[in-house]
Amino acid sequence: MNAIAEKITRILRSSHRQNQTVGVDFTPEGIAFAHIQRPATQQPFLAHCDFLPLEAGIEPVEILRARLIKLGLQRVACNLVMPAGNYQLILGEAPKVPQEELAEALRWRVKDLVQFPIAEAVIDGFFLPEDSARGGNRMAYAVVAQHKYVEAQVNLARATGLELKNIDISELALRNLAETCCDTKRGVAIVKLQQGGGSLQIIRDGNLYLSRQFSLAYNAGLLDDLPGDSLVLELQRSLDYFERQMRQVPPSHVYLCGENVTADKITPEIRNSVAVSINLLNLENGLQIADDIPEHSLSLCLHAIGAALRQDQVG
């Protein structure tokens, strides 16, 4: 009887763990992690979310592992975010192959665009929708990383005791956030700001159409204003490229997010600068969030939250 009870307990525990995922983003300043639970009939629940600053003399993995043990999250499925400098996201004309052959076909398209031997590359790829074709040629993104960086991510997950499920990139982590918290059927732009720069992703119906990085004189402090003129210029450049070069209908909304990006910083001048609604990204539109998670932690952990929300789709 005890053996049967133990077996049932193991099955229930396994089922419970299958409905939760930890997203982790190792950054130069610390470790961002997010724990998502998926109740069967409700919105995803953000149960834990924190940014753990680095500590002198302690490995980042040890800092994270100690927190995971405290929360009882060992052996939970994990999606890691590849550090920005460890991969390239390259947009180009898609080879005429099925999805399962795309990565290998892209290898020879990008071999002259990377700074290391192509034999050392790990490559994944995803098509853009048919309506993004330029001159009748469909486009595709290639994600290219050196094998040593991918292996390092695998080793990090192993050292923390988590069960690695996916290695994601920040662009697709933000896509996951948009899919969860926004209506993307008509397209949205997600603009994430951090100290010294930002990124813009345009997502429509679950597909990443455009990704841009840009520099910005933003110090990301609590009292630092957004550099309105520079930010507006980057928005205008991105939307103009999307409409004129990619021949796409402009997105219905632009959502701003990032460290110490708050609604009061989005001035009327910024809001009225383009013919698209500009607002703060509100995670509560798609997530239940535990009461004890500070707003500032959310802004520091956006990539980790997005990684934890991944549903195994590509592109």
Gap between the Cα atoms of 19 and 36, Å rounded: 8
| Dist. CA 116–CA 129, nearest whole Å | 30
Domains, the chain, with CATH or none = 84-148 (3.30.420.380), 183-280 (3.30.420.40)
Distances (CA, A) of 293 to 45, 77, 288: 12, 21, 11
> Looking at residues 297-308, what average pLDDT do you find?
98
Residue 19 CB neighbours (<10 A): 14
* Residue range 223-276, pLDDT digits in tens: 999 999 999 999 999 999 999 988 899 999 999 999 999 999 999 999 999 999
Instruction: Please tell me whether the overall predicted TM-score, pTM, comes out greater than 0.85 for this model.
Output: yes
What average pLDDT does the segment 19-38 reach?
96
Label residue 137 by pLDDT band (50, 70, 90): confident
Percent of the chain with pLDDT over 90: 84
Name the nearest CA neighbour of 79 among 13, 32, 16, 127. 32
Q: In what helix (H) or strand (E) does residue 237 lie, and over which residues does it extend? A: helix 228-244
Span 45-102, pLDDT tens digits: 999 999 999 999 999 999 999 999 999 998 999 999 999 999 999 999 999 999 999 9
Q: How far apart are CA 315 and CA 313, in angstroms?
A: 7
**Residue range 171-189, pLDDT digits in tens:** 999 999 999 999 999 999 9
Please choose, from the candidates 100, 88, 86, 99, the residue with its C-alpha nearest in 3D space to the C-alpha of residue 144. 88
Going by C-alpha positions, the residue among 81, 73, 79 that lies closest to residue 17 is 73
Pairing of strands 121-127, 139-146: antiparallel
Q: Which two tokens stand for residue 160?
A: 């923390």
Interatomic CA distance for residues 55 and 106, integer angstroms: 41
CA-to-CA separations, 146 to 120, 122, 282, in angstroms, rounded: 6, 6, 35
Tokens 């679950």 belong to residue: 206
Task: Tell me if 307 sits within 8 A of 79, measured CB to CB.
Answer: yes
CA distances from 80 to 23, 277, 295, 306, 310 (A): 6, 32, 22, 10, 10
**Per-residue confidence (pLDDT) for residue 130, from 0 to 100:** 83
Please name the amino acid found at residue 167.
I
Neighbours of 204 (CB within 10 A): 22
pLDDT at residue 304, rounded to an integer:
99
**253, two tokens:** 């909304």
